Amino acid sequence: MARPVNLSDIPFVPSDTTHLSELEIGDPSLVVDLGSGDGKVLKWFRDNYPNAELIGYELDEGRATASQNELANTAQILNENMWDADLSEADVVYLYWMAHLMSGFYETFWNQLKAGAFVVSYQFAIPELTPIAQVEYFYIYQK
């Protein structure tokens, strides 16, 4: 069930991807960025996991269009509400949200994930879960 959309819930601020390479997240076939912004994180995955399918949900039409143009056929940017995402096939789900929304991720998506899937959350922990690792400002969870 989709949540009401309020773009001011999560302002656009790009992640610092400097330490992403230190994460142990296997060899993902499908990476989903919920709120993909300018595509910075997906570009990092494109460069580091060239065989992975990459999907971004981005509600802001301008950012969705611009990042789709930049990523061309290496990723699919959906100009859609991320709360409607189907994460059942995802191997890695990337989040850069806000503290007050993190329980919403757990309630809405955790049961959808397949066993072994990783969730990488930048800056904000998911209160209901214990991370398997914390690397710099990344919290890593595994289903």
Q: Is 12 a binder of ligand SAM (CB under 6 A)?
A: yes
Q: Which stretch binds ligand SAM (CB under 6 A): 31-39, 47-55, 108-116, 131-139?
A: 31-39
Angle formed by the axes of helices 40-48 and 61-71, nearest 10°: 20
Cα gap 21→11, rounded to integer Å? 25
Of residues 21 and 115, the one with the C-beta less far from ligand SAM: 21
Cα gap 49→65, rounded to integer Å? 23
> Which residue from 70, 9, 73 is spatially nearest to 39, judged by alpha carbons?
70
Of residues 100 and 115, the one with the C-beta less far from ligand SAM: 100
Q: Is 99 a binder of ligand SAM (CB under 6 A)?
A: no
The CB-of-12 to ligand SAM minimum distance in angstroms stands at 4
Cα gap 115→75, rounded to integer Å? 24
Of residues 37 and 117, the one with the C-beta less far from ligand SAM: 37
